[in-house]
Amino acid sequence: MVTPTRTAATILVGIDTGGTFTDLVAVIDGQLLFHKVPSTPENPADAVLLGLSELLGQRRHYTVNYSSTVATNVLLQRRGARVALLTTAGFEDVIEIGRQNRPQLYDPEPQRPEPLVARPLRIGVQERMLHTGQPLVPLSDQAIVAALAQVQRAQPEAVAICFLHSYANAAHERRMGRALRQRGFSLVSLSHELASEHREFERCSTTVLNAYVQPVMQHHLQDLEKSLRSQEARLRVLQSSGGAISPRVAAREAIRTCLSGPAAGVSGAWAVARSLGIRQAISFDMGGTSTDVSLLLHGVTTTTELSIAGFPLKVPAVDVHTVGAGGGSIAYIDEGGLLKVGPLSAGADPGPACYGRGHEPTVTDANLLLGRLLPQFFLGGHMPLFPERAHNAVEVLAERLGQSTEVTAAGIVTVVNAGMERAIRAVTVERGYDPRQCALIAFGGAAGQHACALAEALEIPVVVIPRLPGLLSAWGALNAPVERNAVRSVLWREPSFAQLRAAARPLVTRIQRQLQQEGVPPAQHRTDITLEVRYVGQSHELTVPLTPTYRRAFERAHRRWYGYHDPGREVEVVNIRIFGRERTRPMRHLAPRSLQPLLHRATHKVFYANRWFTVPVYERERFQPGTTCKGPALIVEASSTTWLAPGWLATWHRLGHLMLTRQHSGGRSKR
């Protein structure tokens, strides 16, 4: 399908690799093309190359912005490299001891994930740096030789180096890294390059995670780049923060890509919200294997306090909350006889039962049985669905529950909705924000079938279904700017603005040099400087911009997060963080074509509130700006289907987005 959009001098392609489908969006000569192919989890590059071939044909000379799930899957499946960890003697067990925090506070037997580096592969090195950057125990030649001998015996695939206080002085890490590379160990991760900040456990964990995923990511990107080079194409990889980096940097600092998929979606959601003048929104991305939600307050929020697969990670990333709730999430009955959904997913292979290969009942199968998916419109009619297989899969659960098939399918949807509602509450209510003051930006292939129910449960008044909702993450990837970032730990009490600005200057110079190396001319550089600040004695920081009134901004943030502030208390600036990115034009969504008036001659039966409705079916591509329709109804398009529940009104915005608004409360009881 082709839709006019902005004029483009070159071919740009955005790719989002999901658990079920790999989505591609391309801008070619001012036209938008899109395509979806089944993902290939064993080798994600296969789906990428197939999709590019089918979308672009024999075209050459294009740029690909690639949102990768390789690093994420390596960690979740624990199939990374054999890693040796070199650390300051006496600190070999930091990654296992961790912190006393207990994620499950009332679990009498909490289980931590097994460390990614076994105890025999943790090597203590005789060296010691003070927090001031002064060496207490210099790194001697003898210590280097002894460490190299142990590494040689261990024969690791990758090496992680995390010395105490290397954020203050990285000389020992650099020297050890050079010695390893001279011995032929090319995959060496240095903690000061990945997370040059205090907190030994998190910095060590980040370095180990990078070494663990680096060999797989490097091999994947080298193969993909080699294939694209034959088409004279350029590859860029999305970071977890939403910016793009070269494959060379992504291979070396692979852990920066572990959340690149959610980052692309959140960036696309904020572009939609901004285009509509919405300043407070909730990004709701429901795909095949998971749902990602994020709170958007005047922009995309990033964080450096996250974890993946149970391991802490200190790299900038979009602030998302992920739950195992997607179209492919498998429904089952637990030991207590309760209906549960996810987090296990049918993925792309075998996929939901209705795709023709799987046998387990999934959320997609439930929606098909409830009438919320139409086989003849699925993926624009290009992918067949098998309702009888969905019925057989759900029927097994129905017999065990003693319910009808449609009631069981409705139960599956209710359960998965409850999990997604909790996720949205986690990023709003639990942080002191009212979801009723936000719009819900619902996208991903499955979000449109659940958006109205979630908005009703949370009393959200407006739902936005973007243009091409099933491809918004790929569109976000396509528009991602080149970005580099850096951090410096300072731990200064009440520093002046001039002192902070002087400390930031070398970092800004380094970032600008890196942007130029990525091909961004100086005139297109944009640099943002933030501070991570706390009251003296606190253990966690709040992020504020570097301005002469940074303290005032910190106290406002502290009052918002914790309900109070203390003007007489001393503050401490912990970190200075720099984000340098390419200046880009604001992402605009696609101008609509001139279309025929709305037609809705088709009808379909939908099961809702324990009864069947005969509802009209609208083809979204036939909508014109200002067109409205009332629920109950189905709105179908190539990349998604929207279930417009009773009591809701859909209006087609001039930018092509669907605006869903509630006409009254209690719509369910009136039907």
Domain that holds residue 34: 2-75+218-257
| Confidence at residue 601, expressed as pLDDT on a 0 to 100 scale | 60
Q: Are residues 154 and 173 in the same domain?
A: yes
Cβ count within 10 A of residue 668:
13
| Confidence at residue 664, expressed as pLDDT on a 0 to 100 scale | 64
Instruction: Tell me the β-bridge partners of 492.
Output: 573
Residue 591 reports pLDDT greater than 60: no
| Confidence at residue 30, expressed as pLDDT on a 0 to 100 scale | 76
Q: How far apart are the first and last CA of the chain?
A: 38
| Confidence at residue 667, expressed as pLDDT on a 0 to 100 scale | 41
End of a domain among 196, 211, 226?
Answer: 211
Domain membership of residue 501 (yes or no) is yes
| Confidence at residue 378, expressed as pLDDT on a 0 to 100 scale | 85
pTM, rounded to two decimals? 0.86
Domain membership of residue 55 (yes or no) is yes
Instruction: Please provide the average confidence, as pLDDT, over all residues in the chain.
Output: 90
Backbone angles phi, psi at 581, to 5 degrees: -145, 165
Residue 592 reports pLDDT greater than 80: no
Q: Are residues 198 and 92 in the same domain?
A: yes
| Confidence at residue 9, expressed as pLDDT on a 0 to 100 scale | 44
Short-list 235, 163, 232, 241, CA closest to 203: 163
Q: Please count the structural domains in the chain.
A: 4
Domain membership of residue 536 (yes or no) is yes
Q: Which residues contact 184 (CB under 8 A, 6 or more apart)?
A: none
Q: What is the mean pLDDT of residues 545-560?
A: 95
Domain membership of residue 325 (yes or no) is no
| Confidence at residue 3, expressed as pLDDT on a 0 to 100 scale | 37
Per-residue pLDDT reduced to its tens digit, 55-78:
998 888 899 999 988 898 898 888
Residue reference for tokens 């499946």: 77
Per-residue pLDDT reduced to its tens digit, 302-318:
898 888 888 999 999 99
Q: Are residues 186 and 84 in the same domain?
A: yes
Q: Are residues 124 and 96 in the same domain?
A: yes
Residue 41 reports pLDDT greater than 90: no
Q: What is the mean pLDDT of residues 491-510?
A: 96
| Confidence at residue 107, expressed as pLDDT on a 0 to 100 scale | 82
CATH of residue 19's domain is: 3.30.420
Residue 126 reports pLDDT greater than 70: yes
**Cα→Cα distances 671→119, 605, 612, 631, 667, Å:** 63, 15, 11, 11, 7
Residue 63 buriedness (CB in 10 A; 0-12 / 13-18 / 19+): middle
Residue 612 reports pLDDT greater than 60: yes
Residue 1 reports pLDDT greater than 80: no
| Confidence at residue 586, expressed as pLDDT on a 0 to 100 scale | 55
CATH of residue 569's domain is: 3.30.1490
Q: Are residues 207 and 84 in the same domain?
A: yes
Give the pair of three-digit tokens for residue 64: 């690909």
Task: Name, of 161-175, 368-382, 469-483, 591-605, the range with top average pLDDT.
Answer: 161-175
Q: Are residues 245 and 187 in the same domain?
A: no
Q: Are residues 202 and 224 in the same domain?
A: no
Q: Are residues 611 and 545 in the same domain?
A: no
Domain membership of residue 508 (yes or no) is yes
Q: Quote the percentage of the chain above a pLDDT of 70.
A: 95
**Cα→Cα distances 334→315, 340, 434, Å:** 37, 7, 34
| Confidence at residue 594, expressed as pLDDT on a 0 to 100 scale | 33
Q: What is the mean pLDDT of residues 468-481?
A: 92
Task: Fill in the DSSP letter of residue 626.
Answer: T
Lowest mean pLDDT among 103-117, 276-290, 562-576: 103-117
Q: Are residues 86 and 69 in the same domain?
A: no
- 465 falls in which pLDDT band (50, 70, 90)? very high
Q: Are residues 576 and 650 in the same domain?
A: no
Domain membership of residue 36 (yes or no) is yes
End of a domain among 582, 614, 635?
Answer: 582
Are the C-beta atoms of 619 and 599 separated by less than 8 Å? yes
Give the pair of three-digit tokens for residue 107: 């679990």
Find the helix or strand (DSSP H, E) in which 141 lies: helix 141-154
**Cα→Cα distances 316→75, 175, 195, 579, 654, Å:** 18, 27, 10, 9, 35
| Confidence at residue 376, expressed as pLDDT on a 0 to 100 scale | 85
Give CA–CA dist 654/463, Å, rounded: 16
What secondary structure, in 3-state letters, does 521-563 show?
CHHHEEEEEEEEEEECCCCCCEEEECCCCHHHHHHHHHHHHHC
Per-residue pLDDT reduced to its tens digit, 625-655:
888 899 899 999 988 999 999 999 999 999 8
Write the DSSP assignment of 416-473 as a string of letters.
HHHHHHHHHHHHTGGGT--GGGSEEEEESTTGGGTHHHHHHHHT--EEEE-SSGGGHH
Q: Quote the percentage of the chain above a pLDDT of 90.
A: 74
Domain membership of residue 252 (yes or no) is yes
Residue 241 reports pLDDT greater than 90: yes
Lowest mean pLDDT among 51-55, 208-212, 377-381: 377-381
Cβ count within 10 A of residue 321:
18
Q: What is the mean pLDDT of residues 383-395?
A: 94
Q: Are residues 96 and 206 in the same domain?
A: yes
End of a domain among 178, 211, 244?
Answer: 211
| Confidence at residue 19, expressed as pLDDT on a 0 to 100 scale | 76
Q: What is the mean pLDDT of residues 190-197?
A: 95
Q: Are residues 530 and 574 in the same domain?
A: yes
Domain membership of residue 530 (yes or no) is yes
- 130 falls in which pLDDT band (50, 70, 90)? very high
